Structure 1
Amino acid sequence: MLIGELSRRTGVHTHQLRYYESQGLLEPGRGANGYREYPDDAIVTVTQIRKLLQAGLSTQEIGYMLPCATGAGPDLEPCPELVATLRTRLGGLDEQIDTLVRTRQALHDYIDATERWVVQQTRACDTPPPGG
């Protein structure tokens, strides 16, 4: 199948398919006319790539893991260091989440302090001067 048909059948833009090819994730053949020709199983491969990208994996990580992917899920067969790669990626995400939680709390603290200051200033302005 040509790249346009693969794009239509997977919902992935042709420039993305060419990018996947440049990253070594897709390997089309070439017809006599020089056009890319993808096998029928490229649909499953593209689906696997998209799902692994949604899981936050880089194309480099996907290139390493793609031979382990089976089905449209993708389900992953236990390849060497597969679980270690996934755990490393998960650990990185956990660190990012922890950083975001700390940043969120710091912003809340600044907002709370600023709002308390505004309330105190408003009350000070509403209080009549002594003996007045």
Structure 2
Amino acid sequence: MRIGELAERAGVSARALRYYEKQGLLTARRAANDYREFDESDLRLVAEIRTLLASGFTLEDARPFVECLRAGHESGGACPESVLVSRRRLAEIDREIRVLLRRRAEITDQLARACPGSRTA
């Protein structure tokens, strides 16, 4: 399928697909007229990339998931490299949560000092 069809079916722009290709996450064949040609399997790769991006992963994080799918695994998260990326991302999220909880406690304390007797959530 050509890039426009893949973009439409995947719900992304052709520009995004060209960027994924430039980053090495997608590989297009070139037709005689130099148009990009994609396989049906590329639709699954784009869906995986989009899901990961929506979950806070970076394009670089997505690489092992895409490679895992290309290797024939049912899930992009089934390979050891993908598991490592997921664990690293979870650790980052846990650190962010701790920072946010600390900030929340500081603001709650400031509010309690500024407005004694007020209720905070």
Bucket of the pairwise TM-score, normalised by the shorter protein: 0.7 to 0.9
* Greater relative contact order (Cα < 8 A, sep 6+): 1
Look up the match of 1:2.
2
What stretches of structure 2 of length at least 5 have no aligned partner? 117-121
TM-score, scaled to structure 1: 0.75
Mapped to 2, the partners of 1:30 and 1:44 lie a distance apart of 20
In the alignment, is residue 83 of structure 1 matched against residue 90 of structure 2? no
Mapped to 2, the partners of 1:24 and 1:110 lie a distance apart of 49
> RMSD of aligned C-alpha atoms?
2.0
Look up the match of 2:112.
112
> How do 1:65-76 and structure 2 match up within 5 A?
65-69=65-69, 70-71=73-74, 74-76=75-77
Look up the equivalent residue of 1:95 and give its one-letter code.
Answer: R
Write out per-residue CA displacement over residues 37-62 of structure 1, whole angstroms, 9 at most, x where no aligned residue. 11111111111111122232211121
Decide whether the 8 Å contact of 2:48 with 2:65 is kept in 1.
no
Q: Name the % identity.
A: 36
Mapped to 1, the partners of 2:76 and 2:63 lie a distance apart of 15
Look up the match of 2:98.
98
Query: Compared with structure 1, are the counterparts of its residues 75 and 25 closer, same or farther at alpha carbon in structure 2 (3 Å cutoff)?
Result: closer
Which has more radius of gyration? Answer: 1
Stretch of structure 1 that moved more, 82-91 or 10-19: 82-91
Mapped to 2, the partners of 1:19 and 1:63 lie a distance apart of 14
Write out per-residue CA displacement over residues 14-65 of structure 1, whole angstroms, 9 at most, x where no aligned residue. 2211111111111111112222111111111111111122232211121133
Give runs of ≥4 in structure 1 deviating > 3 Å.
none
In the alignment, is residue 37 of structure 1 matched against residue 40 of structure 2? no
Write out per-residue CA displacement over residues 51-89 of structure 1, whole angstroms, 9 at most, x where no aligned residue. 122232211121133221344xx453233x432222112
TM-score, scaled to structure 2: 0.81
What stretches of structure 1 of length at least 5 have no aligned partner? 117-132
